[in-house]
Chains A and B, each alone.
Chain A
Amino acid sequence: MASLKHTSEKALQMLRSLPRLSLANIRDNPHSRIKTKRGRGQHRGDFHGNGQKRWTVLRLGYDCSNSPFYLRFKYEPYYQGHHLRRQYPPITLKTLQMLIDSNRLDTSRPIDVASLCTTGLFQIFPDEKQFGFQLIDEGAECFKAKINIEVQHASELVIAAIEKNGGVIRTAYYDQKALHALRDPKKFFERGLPIPRRMIPPQDAVEYYSNPKNRGYLADPEAISHERLVLAQKYGYKLPKIEDDPQYNMLIETKDPRQIFYGLEPGIVVNLKDKCIIKPKVDV
């Protein structure tokens, strides 16, 4: 740890070794020298869109017109709040079936953002306001897998297609920090950080995630089972009984609303090298 020195100390040391100030080692004042050569091109030789006047470099956003560029185009109200809206990159049911058929997804375990990301085919960028995946109904007619899946947004037909095969679908909200951990669990665990607590959804997302029709994770489980029946009647299929399924335990596996990884509580540290988890004594 020899390099841990204070900057002022370093500067003093440097000064000691430097020569004394003299005419030989001082510099002119800035802009004191008159240029003998005319600049070419971008060095103030061009017109820069400023009519026929050389020797100018216009400010950013100006091009010698009366209205500067940044004021020229009017306000676009249909983009209001666009930068704050949550995005959900789509995955079709067809793609999901393909992932399952090509053994990229393990249907014997619940599927969530982490398992979708670790297929290596999808990426999530939480800092670009992407809040997880949405399932699209394309390929709903050829979807045949029985899965327990958790996505962030799903349409009615998607829910019907999954439940028809005896599967379970849930929509859940993840905040950006949680999603960042979930998008690459290995990388997250290698940072040696305790698993964060998942935040509750914002006000405008509460309605969606507490609605049993959307199979929201905040909805009443009884209401959800009722809605399952309603949807089966609407689309005209016989709802398979999950209770009689040999994979019952897998199908009912859920996360706590504050949990990010299956089976891992918030606040613990996971070490992949030692294959161990470390729990704090204090409850988080």
Chain B
Amino acid sequence: MFTFKFIKNSLLCGVNLNRNLLVANSRSLQLFRRPNEKKKNEDDDDEDLLPEKIEEQEIQDPEIQYRSIAHMRNKSRLRPAHRNMLYDRVPYMQAESWIHETLKYKRLIYGRYGKASGIDPRICFETKSEMDEREEYERVAFPNTIQEMMVIEEQKKREKKEKNAAREALILANIKKLEQWKTDLTNKRWKKEEEARVAKERKDRLIEEVRRHFGYTIHPKDERFKELLEKKEKEQRKALKEAKKQQKQSKMLEKMAASQKVTATAPAEKVEE
């Protein structure tokens, strides 16, 4: 309201203020002037733009008058595109950049300004090739239908259950054997210890014997000690071997005696049958 009154007053007061407004606009126009054009004097420029006679004619036509008033009212110093955006109009009526030619931008303008944008809404939809591509993507990304995926999921669940059950059964079976395994292990350990103990005793005995032979304590790393020890060990081994042989023989004899007894008693049994 204020601006309207202001302009109305200025129009009534005379051309002076009016002219100043247009001078400001003409300066902004200079930016778009081609470089090969000669720069004119500012005063000349003003007169070019504002011939008094033409203005008088224009004022008579209400349409042109309204436009000129609107032009004069625009004190925002906004660029036309920005001003259009402010008033919710399509910012650029003609493409001014390669961006304005892109599909994305055109869709955006249609989406924002609708029918008034003058854009054919058919561009919003995908083309046949794009549709095919999308379908192919879906086919590759989702090879299974929901039903198939549900079946797969069921199968996975079943497999997991079976695996768990098998593992549990194995553990149960092993727990039954656990006590046996424990006794086996202790026996094994005990046997090993016993063997080690016997071997040590034997060795100690040998050393003691060697010492008694010499009559004094001799260092076990001494050559003489070693020789005698070897000799003694050999003897002992021999004795062991012989003892074993004898044992074997006696066993054989026992066996033979037993078999003879059996053969002696067997025919009698047969007769009984």
Contact = CB atoms under 8 A, between A and B. Distances in A.
A187 B254 CA distance: 107
B131 A284 contact: yes
B59 interface: no
A60 interface: no
Q: Which of A192, A203, A210, A276 has the most CB of B within 10 A?
A: A192
B118 interface: no
Contacts of B107: 191-193
A3 interface: yes
Interface stretch (A30-38, A42-50, A108-116, A266-274): A266-274
A4 interface: yes
A190 interface: yes
Interface in B74-128: 94-98, 101, 106-116, 121, 124-126
Contacts of A193: 107, 111, 124
A199 B138 contact: yes
B149 interface: yes
B22 to A, nearest CB: 27
Contact of B110 (A192, A218, A280): A192
A189 interface: yes
A273 B95 CA distance: 22
Interface in A234-276: 257, 267, 269, 271-274, 276
B124 A210 contact: no
A193 B107 CA distance: 7
Contacts of B144: 203
Contacts of A201: 146
A64 interface: no
Interface string A197-230: 0011101001100100000001000000000000
Contact of A194 (B126, B142, B146, B157): B126
B124 A278 contact: yes
A18 interface: no
Q: Which of B124, B131, B153 has the most CB of A within 10 A?
A: B124
B152 A280 contact: no
Nearest to B157: A207
Given A190-B108, A191-B108, A192-B108, A200 B142 contact: yes
B258 interface: no
B124 A192 contact: yes
B149 A1 contact: no
A191 B125 contact: no
A194 B124 contact: yes
B150 interface: yes
Contact of A210 (B106, B112, B150): B150
Contacts of A191: 107-108, 111
Task: In the A-B complex, list the 8 residue pairs whose CB atoms are closest, starting with the nearest.
Answer: A192-B111, A273-B114, A192-B107, A274-B114, A190-B111, A206-B149, A192-B110, A269-B124
13 contacts: A1-B94, A3-B96, A3-B97, A4-B101, A190-B111, A192-B108, A192-B112, A203-B152, A207-B157, A269-B125, A271-B110, A272-B111, A274-B115
Interface of A: 1, 3-4, 189-194, 199-201, 203, 206-207, 210, 218, 257, 267, 269, 271-274, 276, 278, 280, 282, 284
